[in-house]
Amino acid sequence: MKKYIIALSALLFTFKAHATTVEETFDVEIGIFDAAKVHMAYTLTETDYTFSSQIETAGLFDKFYSFKASYLTSGFFDKSSLITQKYHQFTQSSAHKRSKYLVFNPQGTLTKRISTKDDQQKEVDITLPQTKIDTFDIQTALTKLIKNFSKTNSCDLNQTVFNGKKVYHITVKDSGRTLLREEKLPVKGQAYECIAFIHQEQVTEGDLLWQVSSERSIKFYLMLDKATDLPFLAKMEIASTPLGKLEAYMTDLNIKE
């Protein structure tokens, strides 16, 4: 279940333009349970980007399986390319504290992975796989999706990600527009429906995060803020998890100039 929550924190996102920061908060439900809260902050300028997210279990999930995580990505734009310069990840469960730092050269190529588990640290020099890599973390891949969406109003995306250990492919398909009228949403109206599929190469049995298929796709809905005309995430769902359907609803939206 932790892997579903990590996937959620990576796939919930907001958009920002002209040095505006957009922040969002989400409530996450899995089956009949209140499962977690997610906080996002995204900033995009003409030259660079940052993306941060935090997640914390709630309700019974927090009592029986406490979990916290934070993720930070930053980088810059070089023509049509996104060059990642920093990626930090920290997670804490009832059993362990873990962190991961990805080290990049000035051209944005991943060169080293530094990870910790409790008090033990490990440094690994990276050998890139023999395949075309688009980016090294999901948040940068989503930045690419955001930039494309701002130009085309379409969330179509194909990206190959290498996180220093594993290669996986993210495909997002635009499914057109729909109306969101659910009572739980503070904003209702027309939304852009997007469906994401994640496939990991050489997946191992039991790795739930990457066994996302047509039967377990990730669906999310983008809406446009009426005041700024900026897109934001209104809702996300995974139809099937071991504990039932996963749904995340936006509860707060804050746009800072």
Q: What is the pLDDT of residue 61?
A: 84
- The pLDDT value recorded for residue 212 is 39
Model confidence at 50, pLDDT cuts 50, 70, 90, reads very high
Q: Identify the CA nearest to 192 among candidates 164, 242, 139, 152.
A: 152
Question: pLDDT tens-digit profile of 117-165?
Answer: 998 999 999 999 988 999 999 899 988 888 888 888 899 999 999 999 8
Q: Which residues contact 74 (CB under 8 A, 6 or more apart)?
A: 48, 49, 50, 51, 84, 85, 86
Q: Between these two residues, 198 and 112, which has the higher pLDDT value?
A: 112
- Domains in the chain, number: 1
CA dist 141 and 160 (Å) reads: 9
Q: Which domain holds residue 96?
A: 2-256
Choose among 256, 255, 253, 257: nearest CA to 39: 253
Q: Say what percent of the chain tops pLDDT 70.
A: 86
- Is residue 17 predicted with pLDDT exceeding 50? no
**Average pLDDT value for residue range 42-59:** 90
Answer whether residue 14 shows pLDDT above 70: no
Nearest to 102 by CA among 115, 113, 89: 113
The DSSP 8-state label assigned to residue 209 in this structure reads G
Q: Judge whether residue 76 has pLDDT over 50.
A: yes
Work out the average pLDDT over 51-76.
91
Maximum average pLDDT range among 3-12, 136-145, 215-224, 228-237: 136-145
* pLDDT of res. 73: 96
pLDDT tens by residue, 20-37: 788 999 999 988 889 999
% the chain with pLDDT above 90: 52
The pLDDT assigned to 62 comes to 87
**pLDDT for residue 209 is more than 50:** no
8: pLDDT confidence band, cut at 50, 70 and 90?
Answer: low
**101, pLDDT greater than 70:** yes
Residue 202 has pLDDT above 90, yes or no: no
pTM: 0.84
Query: At 63, is the pLDDT very low, low, confident or very high (cuts 50, 70, 90)?
Result: confident
Classified as helix, coil or strand, 203 is coil
